[in-house]
Amino acid sequence: MSTDLFDMFSKVFADYGYDIKRFKAPFIKRRLDRRMRIIDVHDYTQYAAILKEERQEFEELFASLSINVTNFFRDFMVYDRFKSSILPRIISSSHQHDKIRVWSAGCASGEEAYSLAIMFTHAIGKLNNLSMEIIASDINKKTIEYAKNGIYSAKSVEQLPLPIVAQNFQKLTNANNIVEYEIISNIKNLVTFKVGDILSNDMRCFDVIFCRNVLIYYEREAQELIVTKFHHCLKDSGYLVLGMDETLLGRKCEKLFYPLMARERIYQKVL
Ligand SMILES: C[S@@+](CC[C@H](N)C(=O)[O-])C[C@H]1O[C@@H](n2cnc3c(N)ncnc32)[C@H](O)[C@@H]1O
């Protein structure tokens, strides 16, 4: 995508109060092309004019910038390693009556946040002097509404071990006679969902931040800003977990974190 074209769409977004310069240009182009195919427009200038005039089309394009593919215990091995190596450290360094605080940043429809709630509950369930809370946020309002509901299709849970499903979900049959699975209230109540941009978050003192499969859509500079934000939001020696295709290698912010388990993308805050 040429710089002129990118600038033309940046201006349209800026008029609506959004900054797309932090996204990777090829990602923006793929999203534009997709929307243009759907509404059968073949010229970028014409599409830019439509966006300026039709807020509804702008909203559709904006929602399409939020790729919200996700699943429960995505990359199971990462959760497994986190549970065996990092969780015990967090538990042993938490003082009595401390709340363990976790942030699922870019949580999409909530599967990551609920997976964390299930994992932590299992690990600290019997330690009655410890409690926890999970803040789960996403820029996309629709996915947050879905997440709050906590009801998922049979397909979403089919890969999960049966005991996890039995202990944490309630089987339902909806009005159309379709089987669904609802997260039980003990788990649901641990998670607070919020709509919001990671960069405008002002919560602090997290023990862990899971921000998986979000940075990949951003330019290096925006990635630096986000990772610096995480450094600020974590407790001393807190943990950051990225997606399998994401890395801090070669970034200026690399020195803010130590790669504790490089393969699993588990990092620890450096002071
Ligand atoms: C591919 S999903 C990843 C979901 C989950 N973390 C996972 O790994 O399965 C990326 C999510 O990040 C959200 N997102 C992207 N940029 C964001 C930002 N700046 N602030 C909050 N959420 C963001 C998108 O809306 C989308 O729901």
Kindly tell me if the per-residue pLDDT of 98 is higher than 90.
no
Neighbour tally for 269: CB within 10 Å: 20
pLDDT digits (tens, 9 = 90+) for 99-114: 899 999 999 999 999 9
pLDDT of residue 128: 60
Tell whether the torsion through CA atoms of 61, 65, 66 and 71 is positive or negative.
positive
Ligand 1: residues whose CB is within 6 Å? Answer: 66-70, 74, 106-108, 112, 137-140, 143, 197-198, 212-214, 243
Alpha-carbon radius of gyration of the chain: 20
Kindly tell me if the per-residue pLDDT of 129 is higher than 90.
no
**In order of start, what are the domains of the chain with their CATH numbers?**
3-64 (no CATH), 76-269 (3.40.50.150)
Cα(66) to ligand 1 centroid in Å equals 7
Reduced to 3 states, what is the DSSP secondary structure of residue 235?
A: strand
Q: 266: burial class by Cβ within 10 Å (0-12, 13-18, 19+)?
A: buried
Lowest-pLDDT choice from 51-65, 127-141, 152-166, 251-265: 127-141
Are the C-beta atoms of 96 and 129 separated by less than 8 Å?
yes
Cα(211) to ligand 1 centroid in Å equals 8
- Mean predicted confidence (pLDDT) in 183-199: 95
Cα(150) to ligand 1 centroid in Å equals 17
The model's pTM? 0.91
Query: Nearest C-alpha to atom 23 of ligand 1 is from which residue?
Result: 106
d(CA 161, CA 11): 48
What distances in angstroms separate CA 110 from CA 45, 69, 78, 100, 194, one per listed residue?
37, 11, 17, 19, 11
pLDDT of residue 200: 92
Confidence of residue 123 (pLDDT cuts 50, 70, 90): confident
Place of tokens 């199971």: 76
Cα(242) to ligand 1 centroid in Å equals 12
Query: Nearest C-alpha to atom 14 of ligand 1 is from which residue?
Result: 106
Are the C-beta atoms of 229 and 261 separated by less than 8 Å?
no
Are the C-beta atoms of 180 and 211 separated by less than 8 Å?
no
pLDDT of residue 127: 61
Q: Which residues sit opposite 158 in a β-bridge?
A: none
pLDDT digits (tens, 9 = 90+) for 2-42: 889 999 999 999 998 888 888 999 999 999 999 999 999 99
Are the C-beta atoms of 118 and 187 separated by less than 8 Å?
yes
Kindly tell me if the per-residue pLDDT of 269 is higher than 90.
yes
